[in-house]
């Protein structure tokens, strides 16, 4: 008997058989065409989820779930931001430096001549040394001309760089002291190099106050980061204000919730503003949840710029600060009432409920769309706007949120103190270690003896080992000190102490009032230092059999 497929026929079959084969062939072809059409429709209409849900596996997922009452599950991990989710660093700053491989001046050929730090052969020697030592850790972007150090054979050099493990384009600055010696072929070699920020002669000194100005000197010599520009933008003239289109959210139930909850809601508003092609009116005031404060109580009056990069946000999205917006709104409305000019007051559309979707507001022509969140929780959460059908249209712009450059400067300095050559372990303890009904093995698996045994199989002895942890007892990891050069966040307290660059800048930003280096800042710095390690050991992937979110959640 002859086999019959979807194509082909036997010439020996009778007419009825040939007709049957032809019908089967037509059905197969029709099924194929329908399959192609269905696949094409899915490909065209598919909306990918937010980048947060597409983040690399190496990033810890901290936004675990939305539970039935509309708030977020408690989690002490850190929500990755835009610089963590970028696919690759932009190429706007090429790491191509001038070639100074040639010899020096005639004076450099005389070993007895004084060292001239501005000689291009000196910079060439420093570049060769840095490239050899740090080429796998950082990308050098530019160098300043070296200047004399404290001794005749020393030069201080400064450069800008980008960490290879950071996915943003942000630049950082280092300056180090080098001891150099001449060689036989009119060049130099680095005999000794100082540590991170050791070449203070190459650091840019802050401008001195004018005589008689009465300006007090800073508490310590610190270099302000001139690349931070987090000034508040202004609207301008009345015509500019009237021609603008704004989306204004009043404060809702998200206030004083955890930072991950805040970001999820804030980015919903920012995403709706982008969808409506409007400027988002944002409140720079943040209420820090008690889980991050030393008192355990919610603290109002925190500034968005303490935690996130406002300059990058301004460049990535259309935003205006709330107080500036309300002041101009009242001013131009009063002016319109006095003059009775055509046009009158600023037009506004009040939206009392999140159930009015962004799609329904797409054609709204009022200058201001004012969303009001006056209901009870969870009906008054901002992120409710982006749920349901709106989720298909509103994409949260995660790339617009970066961590504060001031915090990232601390991260860069900690990594620089270890010459970017370190391994790290994330040890989660705290409340999770005490809740044995959900994490029965965590306490035992992260005990000093267990850590000593497990890390000895993963980390080479006497490596720099950074421990990112929520363990409150500093001496808890003393057993590891006999095997590794242990570093904890508390070892670098001077970086946010009252003689630090961070302290001076945040005090100025906070209206002259000193700022506490709070729990969220600690977690942010700890996490980013962890991300930059050459080898990273995770608690729930490497140290314990328990699941991150408890029993039966792996």
Of 371, 233, 209, 395, whose CA–CA distance to 313 is shortest?
233
pLDDT mean over 103-119:
70
Percent of the chain at pLDDT > 90 equals 62
DSSP-derived pairing of the beta strands 485-488 and 464-469: parallel
> Residue for token digits 């540590």?
195
pTM of the model: 0.78
Q: Is residue 229 pLDDT above 50, yes or no?
A: yes
- Pair 388, 410 in one domain: no
- Pair 269, 350 in one domain: yes
The CATH number for 333's domain is 3.40.50
In a domain, 438, yes or no: yes
Specify the number of domains making up the chain.
4
In a domain, 85, yes or no: no
Q: Is residue 72 pLDDT above 60, yes or no?
A: no
In a domain, 264, yes or no: yes
- Pair 183, 249 in one domain: no
Coil, helix or strand at residue 159: strand
- Pair 254, 378 in one domain: yes
Q: Do the beta carbons of residue 155 and residue 180 sit within 8 Å?
A: yes
pLDDT in tens, 138-179: 899 999 999 999 999 999 999 999 888 887 778 899 999 999
> What is the pLDDT confidence band of residue 227, given thresholds at 50, 70 and 90?
confident
Specify the DSSP element, H or E, that contains 426. Answer: strand 423-427
Select from 181, 202, 223 the last residue of a domain: 202
Most confident of the following: 15-19, 49-53, 326-330: 326-330
- Pair 269, 365 in one domain: yes
Q: Is 284 exposed, middle or buried (0-12, 13-18, 19+ CB in 10 A)?
A: middle
Select from 400, 425, 444 the last residue of a domain: 400
Of 209, 212, 213, 177, whose CA–CA distance to 192 is shortest?
177
Q: Which two tokens stand for residue 451?
A: 């850590």
In a domain, 67, yes or no: no
- Pair 516, 410 in one domain: yes
In a domain, 212, yes or no: no
pLDDT in tens, 310-320: 999 999 999 99
Could you give the CA distance from residue 246 to residue 379 in angstroms, rounded to a whole number? 23
Q: Is residue 194 pLDDT above 70, yes or no?
A: yes
pLDDT in tens, 354-396: 999 999 999 999 999 999 999 899 999 999 999 999 999 999 9
- What pLDDT score does 151 carry? 93
- What pLDDT score does 231 carry? 85
In a domain, 230, yes or no: no
> What is the pLDDT confidence band of residue 344, given thresholds at 50, 70 and 90?
confident
- Pair 171, 148 in one domain: yes
In a domain, 58, yes or no: no
> What is the pLDDT confidence band of residue 16, given thresholds at 50, 70 and 90?
low
Q: List the domain range (segments joined by +) for residue 537.
A: 405-543
Q: Which two tokens stand for residue 97?
A: 């430096």
Residues with Cβ within 8 Å of 199's Cβ and at least 6 positions away in sequence, in order, are 149, 155, 156, 157, 158, 175, 176, 177, 178
- Pair 283, 353 in one domain: yes
pLDDT mean over 193-198:
92
pLDDT in tens, 456-476: 999 999 999 999 999 999 999
- Pair 274, 365 in one domain: yes
Q: What is the DSSP letter of 298?
A: -
Please provide the average confidence, as pLDDT, over all residues in the chain.
Answer: 83
Select from 368, 400, 432 the last residue of a domain: 400
- Pair 492, 386 in one domain: no
- The more confidently predicted of residues 187 and 210 is 187
In a domain, 214, yes or no: no
pLDDT mean over 525-536:
94
- What pLDDT score does 96 carry? 43
pLDDT in tens, 34-62: 776 666 655 444 443 433 333 433 333 33
- The more confidently predicted of residues 20 and 523 is 523
Of 77-86, 342-351, 512-521, least confident by mean pLDDT is 77-86
Could you give the CA distance from residue 18 to residue 11 in angstroms, rounded to a whole number? 8
> What is the pLDDT confidence band of residue 26, given thresholds at 50, 70 and 90?
confident
Q: Is residue 19 pLDDT above 60, yes or no?
A: yes
Q: Do the beta carbons of residue 115 and residue 152 sit within 8 Å?
A: yes
pLDDT mean over 466-493:
96
- Pair 113, 12 in one domain: no
Q: Do the beta carbons of residue 115 and residue 122 sit within 8 Å?
A: yes
- Pair 530, 500 in one domain: yes
Q: Is residue 75 pLDDT above 80, yes or no?
A: no
- What pLDDT score does 38 carry? 65
- The more confidently predicted of residues 432 and 338 is 432
Could you give the CA distance from residue 313 to residue 274 in angstroms, rounded to a whole number? 13
pLDDT mean over 182-191:
88
């Amino acid at each position: 008997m002859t086999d019959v497929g979807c194509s082909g026929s036997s010439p020996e079959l009778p007419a009825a058989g040939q007709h049957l084969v032809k019908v089967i062939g037509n059905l197969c072809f029709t099924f194929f065409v329908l399959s192609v059409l269905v696949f094409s429709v899915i490909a065209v209409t598919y909306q990918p989820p937010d980048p947060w849900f597409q983040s690399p596996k190496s990033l810890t997922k901290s936004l675990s779930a939305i539970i039935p009452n509309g708030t977020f599950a408690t989690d002490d991990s850190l929500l990755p931001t835009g610089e963590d989710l970028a696919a690759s660093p932009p190429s706007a700053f090429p790491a191509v430096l001038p070639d100074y491989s040639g010899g020096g001046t005639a004076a450099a050929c005389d070993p007895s001549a004084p060292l001239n730090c501005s000689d291009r052969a000196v910079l060439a020697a420093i570049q060769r040394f840095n490239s050899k030592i740090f080429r796998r850790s950082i990308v050098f972007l530019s160098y300043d001309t070296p200047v004399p150090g404290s001794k005749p054979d020393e030069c201080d050099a400064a450069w800008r760089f980008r960490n290879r493990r950071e996915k943003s384009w942000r630049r950082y600055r280092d300056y180090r002291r080098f001891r150099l010696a001449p060689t036989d072929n009119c060049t130099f070699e680095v005999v000794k190099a100082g540590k991170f920020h050791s070449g203070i002669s190459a650091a840019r000194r802050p401008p001195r106050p004018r005589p008689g100005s009465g300006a007090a000197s800073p508490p310590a010599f610190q270099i302000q980061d001139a690349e931070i520009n987090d000034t508040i933008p202004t609207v301008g003239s009345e015509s500019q204000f009237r021609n603008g289109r704004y989306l204004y959210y009043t404060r809702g139930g998200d206030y004083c919730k955890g930072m991950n909850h805040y970001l999820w809601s804030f980015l919903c508003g920012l995403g709706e503003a982008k969808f409506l092609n409007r400027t988002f009116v944002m409140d720079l005031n943040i209420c820090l949840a008690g889980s991050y404060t030393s008192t355990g109580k919610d603290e109002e009056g925190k500034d968005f710029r303490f935690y996130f990069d406002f300059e990058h946000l301004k460049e990535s999205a259309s935003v205006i600060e709330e107080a500036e917006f309300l002041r101009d709104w009242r001013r131009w409305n009063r002016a319109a009432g006095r003059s009775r000019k055509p046009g009158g007051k600023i037009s506004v559309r009040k939206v009392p409920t999140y159930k009015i979707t962004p799609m329904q507001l797409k054609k709204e022509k009022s200058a201001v769309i004012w969303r009001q969140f006056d209901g009870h929780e969870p009906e008054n959460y901002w992120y409710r706007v982006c749920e349901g059908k709106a989720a298909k249209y509103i994409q949260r712009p995660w790339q617009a949120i970066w961590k504060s450059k001031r915090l990232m400067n601390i991260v860069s300095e900690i990594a620089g103190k270890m010459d970017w050559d370190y391994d790290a372990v994330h040890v989660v303890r705290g409340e999770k270690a005490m809740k044995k009904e959900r994490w029965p093995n965590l306490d035992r698996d992260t005990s000093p003896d267990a850590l000593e045994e497990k890390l000895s199989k993963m980390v080479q002895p006497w490596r720099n080992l950074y421990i990112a942890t929520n363990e409150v007892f500093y001496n808890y990891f003393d057993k590891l000190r006999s095997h590794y050069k242990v570093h904890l966040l508390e070892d670098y307290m001077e970086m946010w102490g009252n003689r630090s660059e961070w302290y001076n800048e945040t005090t100025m930003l906070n209206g002259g009032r000193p700022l506490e280096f709070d729990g969220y800042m600690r977690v942010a710095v700890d996490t980013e230092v962890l991300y930059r390690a050459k080898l990273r050991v995770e608690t729930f992937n490497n140290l314990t059999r328990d699941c991150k979110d408890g029993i039966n959640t792996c």
